[in-house]
Each structure stands twice: as C-alpha cells, then as structure tokens.
Amino acid sequence: MTASPTPVGGPAAAPAAAGAARVDFASRVARAAGYGALLLLFAAAFEFTCRLEDWLRYRMPWWTPITSQDDLVVFDKDGGHGRPGARYQKWVMNNLGMRGPDAEVAKSPGTLRVVTVGASETFGLYESPNREFPRQLEDTLNARLARGACAGCGVTRFEVLNAAAAGMSLPTVAQDIATRVRALHPDVIVVYPSPAQYLELEPPRPARPDSTGRRSRLSPARAFRPRALDRLRNQLKLLLPEVITTALRRREIAAAVRGQPPGWQYTAIPADRLDRYESDLRMAAGVIRSVGAEPILATHANAFAGGRENPTLLSAWQRFYPRATGPTILAFDSAARIVTERVARDSSTRLVDLMGTLAAAPDSAFKDFVHFSDVGSSAVAADLGDAVLALARARQP
Amino acid sequence: MLFNSYIFLFAFLPVTYLVFWSLHSARGRYLWLTLTGYVFYGYWNPKFTLLMAFSTTVSFLAGLGFLKWSDPRRRKLCLVVPITVDLMLLGFFKYANFGIRTATDVMHLFGRDVSMPHLNIILPIGISFYTFHTISYIVDSYRKVITPTRNFFEFATYVSLFSQLVAGPIVRFRQIEEDLEAIGHADRRRWLTRGLSFFVVGLVEKVVIADSMAAFVDPALAQYPALSSGGAWLAMLGYTMQIYFDFSGYSTMAVGLGYLFGLRIPQNFNSPYKALDPSDFWRRWHISLSTCMRDYLYIPFGGNREGEWKTYRNLMLTMLIGGLWHGASWTFVVWGGYHGVLLAAYRRFDRYWDPLPVRVRQGAMFLAAVVGWVLFRSTTFPMALALMRRMFVPTPGLLAANVWLVVPLLVAAGAWAMAGPNAFDMRHEWTWRRRVVLTAAAAACLAIIAGTRSSPFLYFQF
C-alpha cells in the first residue's frame, strides 16, 4: 500500500492562501482608494485652477454666488436691469448696475452723458474687455474731442454708460429709462433695439417689478457651484463638429414646432408683431424725450446683411426664435430697419443705419449672427460717434 | 488639430491609441498610424494631405531606386530628382511670395518699379518639417547610412507620424527605424507611464508657461513703439521664455506621444538657456534641426576641413540657410546670420571665452539669445531696430499690463529654463508622489485649456 501524496495546498497551506488572498484584497482596495483619491485630486485641481484663473484674468472673487451671465441681471422695484457691483468673468457691472467702470450719479460740469440701451448686442458678449461698442464709443468720442472735433460745443468730456442687459426688450428699456436712467440726467440715449425679440412666443412686455427682490436673490451656497462644469460644457460644444451642432439645433427647432397648431410658425413677417415693434420704439423715443434726453435710434445689424448667406449661422439664430423660420427672421429684421427709419423720421430723431454700415463691413465684424467682434464694435462706435458729435455740436453750450 | 485641444486629447488620441494597440500586425499598425497621421494633418486642411502623399511617394520610390541600382549615375538621379521635387514644393509654397517681394524691392533699389503679383498661396502647416524628413531619408539612403525600406506604409508612417508631423522634432529614419521595424510586437505597457509623464510635462510647458507668457507678450509687442525700456525688456524676456517653452513643450509632448505608441523620439531641447557659448546653444536648441543642418549643409559645404576662413564661411552659409528655413523673411535670414557670427566669433576667440566663470558665460549667452529673438520675433527691420533701441537706450513709455503677475511668472520660467531640469533630466517612475503631481498638473492644464480656445504652437508657422 502506498501512502497517498499530500495534496498540494492541503490543510496546512489553506490559512496561508487565505492570508495571501486577504493581503491581495487589501492591496486592491488600497490601490482602488488611491485611484479614487487621484480622481478627487484631479477634480479639485481642475476646480482650483478655474477659480485661480478667473481671479487672475478677471479679478472674479474666489467665492461668489454669481455663476452665470444671467446673474448679472436683477429684478427689483424698477423692473429688470443690471445688478450693481456684479462681476462674472469679463463682464463687470458698475455701482449703478451698468457694464463698465463705476460712475457718479451726478454729472460733472462739462460732461456730456450718453446712455446706451438695448440687449446683448449693446451689452457686449464676444468683444475683448472694454472693446464693447459703448466703451469704444466713449474712447472714440473723447479722442475726437481731444483733436478738437467738438470745439465750442461746451463739452469737456464724454461719458458713456452702458445700461443694456442681455435679453432686454424695448418695453423693459423704456421702463428702465423712466425709472433708473432718468436719475442720471443723460443728455443722449442711444437705442439699439433687437427686433427679433418680437418673434418670440409672446411679444415682449416690460419686466415685472419685484419690490421684494426675492426673484433675483442669490443663495450664498451658489458660490460652491463647480465652475469647471461651465468650461467643460463649452469645450463639449466646441468638440462637436459643425454638422452635428447644426443637426442638433434643427432638431431642437423641430421639437419646438412639433405639437403646435398649423400656422403657428411664422413663414412671413407677422404684421401685428411688426406694428408692436413700431409702437414700442415710438414709446421708447417718447420716454427718452420725457426724461430730457435726446434719442438716437440705430437700425439693427445682422451677419447676413449685404446678401451674405450662411444657413448654419441662421439656424443658430433661429434656435432662439423657433416661432419664425430663418428667412422670416431675416425679413423681419430688414422690415424693422424700415420701421426704425420711419420712427426716426416721424419723431425728428437722429438715425444711425448700422445695418447699412455693417453690410459693407468684413465678415469678421460679427462673432455670430448678431453679436459683434472688436472690429464690428469699432465700426458701430465710429458711426454712433458721428451722430453723438453732431448732436453735441447742435446743442446750446 | 493641436495637442493642447480637447478634440485631440479626448477624441483623436484615445481612438488612435485604442485601435493601435488592438491591432497586432506591423502592417495593420503602420496602416493605422498613416491613416491617423493624415486625419490629424487633414483636420487643418484636407487638400494638403495630397501634397504630403505626393512627397512621401516620390521619396519612397527614390528609396526603392537606391535598393535596385548600384550604378552611381542612377543613384545620383534618385538623389537629385526627389530632393529637387521636395525643394520645389517647399520653395513654391513657402518662398514664392518672398522671392517676388524681394525681386520687386531689388528692382526698386535700381530705380525700376515693377508691379509683380502677390500669389494667393496658403503655406501648408509643417511643410518644412516633413520635407526635411523626406530629404534626410533620401540623403541617408544615398549615403548608405540607412537601408531604405521596401514597406510603403512603414515609410508613410515615418513621414506622417502625427506626433512629429507638423512641428518636429525632425526625426531621421535611422533614429526611429528600429522601433518602426519592431512595431508589430511592441509592448504597450513598456513606455506607457513614461509617455504619459513626458506628455504632461510638455503640456505644462506649453499651457501654463508659454501661453501665459503669450497673453502678455503679444499685446505688449503689438504696441512696441510705445514701450519703455523696461517694457521692451519684459516683452523680449517674456518672448524668450515663450518660444522656448512653446517649442520645447511641443517636442516633449511629441516624445511622450511617441512612447505611447512604442516609438522613441529623440530629445529636441536640452535646456538651451543653460548654454555657455553659441556652439553649446546650438547643441541644445532644436537639436534635431541643428544636427540636420550640420550633417546635410555644414559638412557637405566642407565643414572645418578646409581652413579657418572657409570654416567661418561654411558656418555663416549654414546659419543663413537655417534662418531662411524658419521663415520667408529677411529678418529670419539676419537672425540666422547673427547666430552664424556668434558661432564664428566663438570659434575664433574660444580660448579667451572658455576660462570665464560659468555664470558669466551662461548669462552672456542668454543675453545674446535674447537679442537674437528680437530679430526673430520682429516682422520688419524697423520693428527690430525700435525694440533694440528701447532695450539699450533708456526710453520712457509703457511698462506692461499686470507687471505684478508677469514678473513672478518670468522669474519662475527663467529659473526652470536656466537652472531646472528638462523633461529628459526628470525621473519618470510611476511613484504615487509623481502620480499626484502629474494628476494635479494635468488637471490644471485641462482647466486652462477649457477656459480658452487652444493656442497654436509657434513653430507650426515654420
């Protein structure tokens, strides 16, 4: 009889194997924890860099509840307007809730105060800091003043206050002039309207005043919202090829149209909306005069003026106004130009035809369908500067 | 496509990497790397991939010719024809308008105003680099330094390898041949951590230092007539750091990417601002270019074999051509000439120079490099002269925006460049400490890239 061989890893080896398995499991857990910690470190370093860069580049506070452009607007007893002292990336609001450097409510002697009103085109989206057209307008006016362009008109300094805010419609503009801007005693108010707003689902109305301020109150907890998310979202958009972004936009537009009754989407200029634009513009001009300022009306410019075709860009614009087809938006903007000219003529108001000017400008004047680049803003400021100087010269010193 | 863009980092690179390592044959990997090289290149302008394909085919056929024929006349034909074709393409795309401009100016000097048309030519990105790749292959094959490959896709991989396609390093076939031959059984894990580590170091150089410098240098030099002496020095010191970290960062990333695919790409920068003399500088700066210039220009011109003055002549000729290679402008030629003079002067007076203290030599060489960068960065001679005047004659004017930020950054960059380790001096072991540092650095770079649109590499223009 032969002795049976001791099985490999028999009873004596079992505890050792169990021990090794425990060690192996523990080292796996440790490694997993290590990688988890690295992931956390990655997220923390990413967020830290975002905040550090925001501070270095824009002087944006490390902890602020203002986490998007929307937070730059506040709704209070005066309606909707810029939030005083707010700051988000390159957009800096002054003590009066207007984009730009701080300003005194009282005008200093010899100052001709110009206030620009309108929506995001006037507020400035894509321009470099201090290159949005109201800032360039102030620079160009003062440069021309220094060269003697307004000799004898009693002006020693031009001051331009940018009271525009993204999405501000004509009725809200008129409301803001009547409530807030009036106190600043402006000499000239430049109105750069956005007619396409009249193609929204409902025609624009003045912002509802909120005396409680509850609607715009920002929770301090928002300061902890990761800024990395915005950056990543933007990069994701850039990552997508244009074909896909265009397809996604078209899908979004189609989804907005779907389920609506037939004829809901404007395929031709809606006359009632155009009439509404006209009456609101007349009202705004009237309000401006009522606060003792001289209005300047400007026609709205877009990147398609002068026969430039760009279906991709048009679909990007239409995404904001799915109620109208792309060609209708363009037709409405052109019709609004004629209306603006008519209102200016009827109310003896100075008109600046920016649509005409920008039609002849290079493509680089626009960063998207309606928003200017530094180049575009420079062209706008030059034309408006002529108009403001003409008004200044016409004034009695 | 840029290495420092999200599309590259999160789409192109992962797909290229995963597919590459899922293929197991050398042929499949050659094919894949060639394809991705063309996609990478064509992302900028698809039309110019045809140009690269043409140049590749001509050079490959020349290589086959060298294999087939031993008759000297035929071999010479295989040398001259493809090089002529390559140089003609380079000459047309890069130097045609320069030639026209120069001819017009010369005619004007002699009192004859001739109107010659400006050709509407787009300079294909990286043409100078891949032309050098193909020429070095042809010359080395002719000299029998290498055995030309019979595998078209191996050669196409060499020319179109995305990591070094558009801004170098100018990798010679012999430097990468061994790894290319062994590509079919390369070990994915062998160089992975080293590759990642190199890539992150390069990303930091580019994104954190070079781009931060650019944000200050570009606006400052855009208004150079208004700069004060301090402003001009700050701008030029900033540019000195920007160009080094930009190009070195690109090269380091290229080396890292090479490792990820089992290919060892040689060092292109060896801390050039630690150089003690002009010769040392060119052994450390853009090493792949300077060795190419030495082997394919300086030595064929006669090198230092024909006496002192001919050596100086050969140095000058080599550096003038090297300057012109950098760009179709006389400022580049003069920059090359300036370095030629420095090299010749050092050669003549090295016995007086070498005994000087190390710090003095390093400082003086650094200063000489900064002066050279004035010529390199200036778009015109009046700009170069104005900057030099401001740097060396006390002039009032603008200093710089955000000096409080620029100066510490400049000091940090200078300390790294002049005293710190370069990527090849660093250890790349995958320790936990190193992982922590690299993870934080990578996160910081990605956050910065996400906050801005990626800026192109300076050397793309060459």
| pLDDT tens digits along B49-105 | 998 999 999 999 999 999 999 889 999 999 999 999 989 988 888 888 888 888 888
Q: Give percent of chain B above pLDDT 90.
A: 67
* Nearest neighbour of B447 by CB, restricted to A41, A231, A236: A231
* Nearest neighbour of A49 by CB, restricted to B10, B439, B443: B443
Cross-chain residue pair A45–B448, CB shorter than 8 Å: no
Cross-chain residue pair B448–A53, CB shorter than 8 Å: yes
pLDDT in tens, chain A (397 residues): 444 444 454 556 677 777 777 778 888 998 899 999 999 999 999 999 999 999 988 889 999 999 888 899 999 888 889 999 999 989 999 999 999 999 999 999 999 999 999 999 999 999 998 999 999 999 999 999 999 888 888 899 999 999 999 999 999 999 999 999 999 999 999 999 999 999 999 999 998 888 887 777 888 999 999 999 988 988 888 778 788 888 888 999 999 998 899 889 999 999 999 999 999 999 999 999 999 999 999 999 999 988 888 888 999 999 999 999 999 999 999 999 999 999 999 999 999 999 999 999 988 999 999 999 999 999 999 999 999 999 998 875 5
Residues of A whose CB is below 8 A from B409:
none
Residue at B77: amino acid letter: L
Tokens read off for B63: 């290589």
Out of B133, B326, B339, B428, pick the active-site residue: B326
**Distance to chain B for A192, nearest Cα, Å:** 30
Q: What's the pLDDT at A305?
A: 87
Whether B142 and B67 have beta carbons less than 8 Å apart is answered as no
Q: Is A35 on the interface with B (CB under 8 A)?
A: no
**Distance to chain B for A37, nearest Cα, Å:** 9
* DSSP tag of A117: E
Q: pLDDT per residue over B376-432, tens digit each?
A: 999 999 999 999 999 999 988 888 778 888 899 999 999 999 999 999 999 888 888
Cα nearest neighbour of A46 on chain B: B443
**Distance to chain B for A245, nearest Cα, Å:** 15
Cα nearest neighbour of B404 on chain A: A56
User: Judging by beta carbons within 10 Å of its beta carbon (0-12, 13-18, 19+), is residue A217 exposed, middle or buried?
Assistant: exposed
Q: Is A232 on the interface with B (CB under 8 A)?
A: yes
Cross-chain residue pair A38–B439, CB shorter than 8 Å: yes
**3-class SS of residue A78:** coil
B54: closest CA among B88, B30, B16, B28? B88
Those of residues 363-422 in B touching chain A at CB distance below 8 A are 405
User: Judging by beta carbons within 10 Å of its beta carbon (0-12, 13-18, 19+), is residue B18 exposed, middle or buried?
Assistant: exposed
Cα nearest neighbour of A47 on chain B: B447
User: Judging by beta carbons within 10 Å of its beta carbon (0-12, 13-18, 19+), is residue A272 exposed, middle or buried?
Assistant: exposed
Cross-chain residue pair B11–A234, CB shorter than 8 Å: no
For chain B, give the mean pLDDT: 91
**Predicted complex ipTM:** 0.84
Cross-chain residue pair A38–B436, CB shorter than 8 Å: yes
Rg of chain B, C-alpha, whole Å? 23
Known catalytic residue at B428 = no
pTM of the full structure: 0.83
Q: Is B447 on the interface with A (CB under 8 A)?
A: yes
Q: pLDDT per residue over B262-289, tens digit each?
A: 999 999 999 999 999 999 999 999 999 9
* DSSP tag of A91: E
* DSSP tag of B272: G
Residue with more model confidence, A351 or B326: A351
Cα nearest neighbour of A234 on chain B: B450
Q: Is A46 on the interface with B (CB under 8 A)?
A: yes
Q: What's the pLDDT at A11?
A: 59
Cross-chain residue pair A235–B448, CB shorter than 8 Å: no
**Distance to chain B for A167, nearest Cα, Å:** 24
Handedness of CA B349, B351, B352, B354 (dihedral sign): positive
Cross-chain residue pair A53–B7, CB shorter than 8 Å: no
Whether B409 and B364 have beta carbons less than 8 Å apart is answered as no
* Alpha helices (H) along A291-325: 311-318
Q: What's the pLDDT at A1?
A: 41
Whether B210 and B249 have beta carbons less than 8 Å apart is answered as yes
Calpha distance A272→A260 (Å, rounded):
19
Q: Encode burial over A284-307: b for 16+ CB neighbours within 10 A, e otherwise.
A: bbebbeebebbbbbbbbbbbbbee
Q: pLDDT per residue over B101-117, tens digit each?
A: 888 888 888 888 777 77
CA B457 to chain centre: 10
**Distance to chain A for B57, nearest Cα, Å:** 31
Helices (H) and strands (E) in chain B, counts: 21, 0
One-character DSSP codes across A183-237: GG--SEEEEE--GGGGGSSS---PPPP-TT-GGG---GGGGGS-THHHHHHHHHH
Cross-chain residue pair B447–A46, CB shorter than 8 Å: yes
* DSSP tag of A364: G
Handedness of CA B52, B57, B59, B63 (dihedral sign): positive
Q: Is A47 on the interface with B (CB under 8 A)?
A: yes
Give the pLDDT mean for B7-19: 94
Cα nearest neighbour of A233 on chain B: B450
**Distance to chain A for B18, nearest Cα, Å:** 19
Residues of A whose CB is below 8 A from B440:
41-42, 45
Neighbours of A74 (CB within 10 A): 22
Tokens read off for A22: 């425990």
Calpha distance B316→B327 (Å, rounded):
17
Calpha distance B373→B377 (Å, rounded):
6
Task: Judge whether residue B452 has pLDDT over 90.
Answer: no
Q: What's the pLDDT at A259?
A: 84
Give the pLDDT mean for B220-233: 92
Those of residues 277-296 in A touching chain B at CB distance below 8 A are none
* DSSP tag of B40: H
Whether A132 and A377 have beta carbons less than 8 Å apart is answered as yes
Residues of B whose CB is below 8 A from A89:
none
Q: Is A242 on the interface with B (CB under 8 A)?
A: no
Cα nearest neighbour of A50 on chain B: B447
Q: pLDDT per residue over B180-211, tens digit each?
A: 989 998 888 888 999 999 999 999 999 999 99
Those of residues 1-20 in B touching chain A at CB distance below 8 A are 6-7, 10-11
Tokens read off for B384: 């170069």
Q: What's the pLDDT at B303?
A: 86
Residue at A284: amino acid letter: A
* DSSP tag of B397: S
Beta bridge partners of A93: A99
What is the maximum alpha-carbon separation in chain B? 71
Tokens read off for B49: 């991939």
Q: Give percent of chain B above pLDDT 70.
A: 98
Task: Judge whether residue B351 has pLDDT over 70.
Answer: yes
A373: closest CA among A119, A128, A120, A141? A128
Calpha distance B64→B207 (Å, rounded):
43
Residues of B whose CB is below 8 A from A45:
439-441, 443-444, 447
Handedness of CA B293, B294, B296, B300 (dihedral sign): positive
Cα nearest neighbour of B1 on chain A: A239
> Backbone phi, then psi, for A81, in 5-degree steps?
-165, 180
Omega cis (within 30) before B169 = yes
Q: What's the pLDDT at A188?
A: 96
CA B119 to chain centre: 26
CA distances from A133 to A194, A242, A288, A309, B363 (A): 15, 29, 20, 25, 47
B462: closest CA among B278, B340, B335, B272? B335
Residue at A270: amino acid letter: P
Q: What's the pLDDT at A237?
A: 82
Calpha distance B194→B255 (Å, rounded):
10
Whether B409 and B213 have beta carbons less than 8 Å apart is answered as yes
Q: Write down the residue that tokens 């270095």 correspond to.
A: A56
Rg of chain A, C-alpha, whole Å? 29
Cross-chain residue pair A50–B447, CB shorter than 8 Å: yes
Cross-chain residue pair A53–B432, CB shorter than 8 Å: no
Calpha distance A123→A97 (Å, rounded):
12
Those of residues 48-77 in A touching chain B at CB distance below 8 A are 48-50, 53, 56
Residues of B whose CB is below 8 A from A49:
443-444, 447-448
Crossing angle between the packed helical segments B229-260 and B192-203, to the nearest 10 degrees: 160
Residues of B whose CB is below 8 A from A232:
450
Residues of A whose CB is below 8 A from B443:
41-46, 49
> Backbone phi, then psi, for B202, in 5-degree steps?
-60, -40
